[in-house]
């Protein structure tokens, strides 16, 4: 969308030209509509009820972020917002309400009609990050005795009230899920056939308390657009759609990135925003922990003070040993976390994975050790010193790859998020082992220097 088009929209809004605004705004893709809404001044946003119907704005409201949704709730007439809420998918509405203060939650719930309020309250009761909290209850489900023509007629009537039409779910009189039909199969079938003859009974389902990350793997592995959610009786209570899972994957990646960098995620408790104090608060805990872990390295250096005093050149290569250990360990950590979170780690035993990482570390260490040893020999013309540096780097990198992979894998076995094994944490551990190997070898061969 060009700047000129933006200008035309805002000009129509400024002049309160409803027809022109609707002509320009409704032609836009929804993501571009979000951008327009974002750039509106608060007083201009207050004009939305005069420009768009509640149903039209509900489509936009469903894809706004929490801050923009709250601005809409705060600036727009609440009677108008009641209409918007009635057309908003219940899972999106639930997400919005859960992000509000208790007072605002109660105010929004009072605006909802009885059935809508009951549906939202039921979704709010489910634990966070489960199928129940993600699912929408607005789906197409039909009785197993219905014919194709009857189902198609029903689809026409409910099309604007459901989130997806890709799948039609077939249930019995007790709402127990029997099968599923794709929209394509329904369209090409003869009108008089019963849906029970067309449905697929080999179902991929989840229960209400399935973790969202497990659901994302199921949808990815089976190439699903949506996955049905069943209760303990096998009754269909909702579906989790792929767009909800894409949001989940995005959040999981962001969360793992923050943990990987030893930073508290912005959506975790205790993070109040992007102010200076909030930024410092999110990073400080790990930094303090790493300071105390770093004392181990400091004590190691102090313990080998006599060795360093006799061969000062050892100190020159100490940062290279430490940096290389940290870098290799972080690489192994990234590979381990990716394999674990993507499910690849289940295809091979932990011992084999560790062995593969160790062999890779050995090869990396041999090449890196040779390069650094050769460099040290050219600089100092001391063969023993060069061997110490080469062998130390070789052993350090071999061990670092194992540590970088093994720590998150062990965390997973202990039911701890593997991303908690952050880069700085692994780096500090590998630094300690690297220094221990380096100075121990140097002390052992000191008499030859």
The pTM assigned to this predicted structure is 0.64
pLDDT at 2: 78
Residue 184 neighbours by CB under 8 Å, 6+ apart: none
**Cα separation, 447 vs 283, whole angstroms:** 45
Domain check: are 176 and 59 in the same one? no
**Cα separation, 375 vs 362, whole angstroms:** 20
> Residue 101 CB: number of other CB atoms within 10 A?
9
Q: Determine, yes or no, domain membership for 265.
A: no
Domain count within the chain: 3
Domain check: are 149 and 93 in the same one? no
**Cα separation, 361 vs 333, whole angstroms:** 13
Q: Determine, yes or no, domain membership for 234.
A: yes
Give the CATH number, domain containing residue 294. 1.10.357.20
Domain check: are 110 and 223 in the same one? no
DSSP state of 414: T
Residue 132 neighbours by CB under 8 Å, 6+ apart: 123, 125, 126, 208, 209, 229, 237, 238
Give the CATH number, domain containing residue 14. 1.25.60.10
Residue 327, Cβ density class (10 Å: 0-12 exposed, 13-18 middle, ≥19 buried): middle
Domain check: are 186 and 67 in the same one? no
pLDDT at 188: 93
Give the CATH number, domain containing residue 189. 3.10.580.10
Q: Determine, yes or no, domain membership for 362.
A: yes
pLDDT at 267: 47
Q: Determine, yes or no, domain membership for 269.
A: no
Q: Determine, yes or no, domain membership for 81.
A: yes
Q: Which domain covers residue 220, as residue numbers?
A: 141-246
Q: Determine, yes or no, domain membership for 357.
A: yes
**Cα separation, 373 vs 285, whole angstroms:** 38
Residue-by-residue DSSP string for 99-147? TS-HHHHHHHHHHS-HHHHHHHHHHHTSPTTBHHHH-BS---EEETT-B
Domain check: are 389 and 290 in the same one? yes
Domain check: are 145 and 222 in the same one? yes
Q: Determine, yes or no, domain membership for 192.
A: yes
Q: What does the block give as tokens for 440?
A: 């121990």
Residue 138 neighbours by CB under 8 Å, 6+ apart: 89, 90, 161, 162, 163
Domain check: are 46 and 179 in the same one? no
> Residue 272 CB: number of other CB atoms within 10 A?
11
Domain check: are 355 and 222 in the same one? no
Q: Which residues of the chain have pLDDT under 70?
A: 1, 252-275, 279, 282, 341-347, 416-423, 449
Q: Determine, yes or no, domain membership for 350.
A: yes
Domain check: are 170 and 104 in the same one? no
Domain check: are 62 and 154 in the same one? no
H helices of 264-382, where?
276-303, 305-310, 313-342, 350-380
Give the Å distances, CA to CA, from 26 to 17, 21, 23, 241, 291: 14, 8, 6, 25, 56
Contact call for residues 225 and 167 (beta carbons, < 8 A): yes
Domain check: are 320 and 409 in the same one? yes
Domain check: are 121 and 146 in the same one? no
Of 100, 125, 150, the position where a domain reaches its end is: 125
């Amino acid at each position: 969308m060009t700047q000129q088009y933006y200008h035309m929209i805002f000009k129509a809004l400024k002049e309160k030209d409803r027809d022109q605004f609707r002509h320009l705004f409704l032609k836009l893709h929804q993501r571009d509509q979000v951008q327009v809404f974002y750039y509106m001044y608060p007083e201009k946003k207050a004009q939305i009820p005069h420009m768009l119907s509640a149903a039209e704005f509900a489509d936009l409201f469903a894809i706004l972020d929490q801050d923009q949704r709250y601005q809409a709730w705060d600036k727009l007439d609440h009677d108008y917002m009641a209409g918007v809420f009635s057309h908003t998918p219940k899972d999106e509405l639930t997400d919005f309400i859960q992000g509000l203060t208790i007072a605002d939650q109660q105010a929004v719930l009072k605006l909802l009609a009885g059935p809508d309020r009951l549906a939202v309250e039921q979704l709010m009761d489910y634990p966070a990050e489960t199928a129940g909290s993600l699912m929408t209850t607005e789906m197409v489900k039909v009785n197993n005795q219905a014919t194709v023509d009857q189902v198609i007629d029903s689809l026409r009537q409910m099309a604007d009230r459901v989130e997806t039409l890709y799948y039609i779910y077939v249930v019995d009189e007790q709402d127990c899920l029997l099968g599923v039909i794709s929209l394509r199969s329904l369209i090409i079938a003869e009108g008089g056939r019963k849906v029970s003859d067309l449905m697929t009974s080999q179902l991929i389902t989840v229960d209400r308390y399935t973790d969202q990350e497990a659901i994302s793997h199921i949808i990815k592995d089976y190439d699903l657009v949506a996955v049905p959610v069943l209760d303990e009786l096998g009754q269909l209570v909702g579906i989790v759609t792929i767009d909800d899972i894409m949001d989940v994957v995005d959040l999981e990646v962001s969360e793992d990135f923050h943990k990987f960098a030893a930073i508290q995620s912005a959506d975790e408790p205790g993070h109040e925003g992007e102010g200076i104090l909030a930024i410092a608060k999110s990073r400080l805990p790990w930094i303090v922990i790493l300071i105390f872990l770093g004392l181990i390295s400091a004590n190691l250096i102090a313990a080998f003070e006599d060795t360093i005093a006799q061969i000062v050149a050892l100190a020159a290569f100490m940062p290279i040993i430490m940096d290389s250990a940290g870098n290799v360990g972080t690489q192994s950590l990234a590979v381990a976390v990716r394999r674990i979170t993507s499910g690849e780690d289940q295809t091979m035993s932990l011992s084999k994975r560790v062995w593969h990482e160790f062999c890779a570390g050995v090869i990396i260490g041999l090449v890196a050790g040779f390069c650094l040893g050769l460099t040290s020999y050219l600089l100092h013309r001391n063969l023993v010193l060069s061997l110490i540096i080469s062998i130390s780097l070789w052993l350090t990198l071999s061990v670092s790859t194992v540590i970088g992979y093994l720590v998150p894998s062990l965390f997973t076995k202990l039911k701890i998020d593997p991303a908690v094994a952050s880069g700085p944490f692994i780096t500090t551990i590998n630094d300690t082992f690297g220094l221990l190997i380096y100075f121990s070898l140097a002390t052992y061969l000191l008499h030859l220097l």
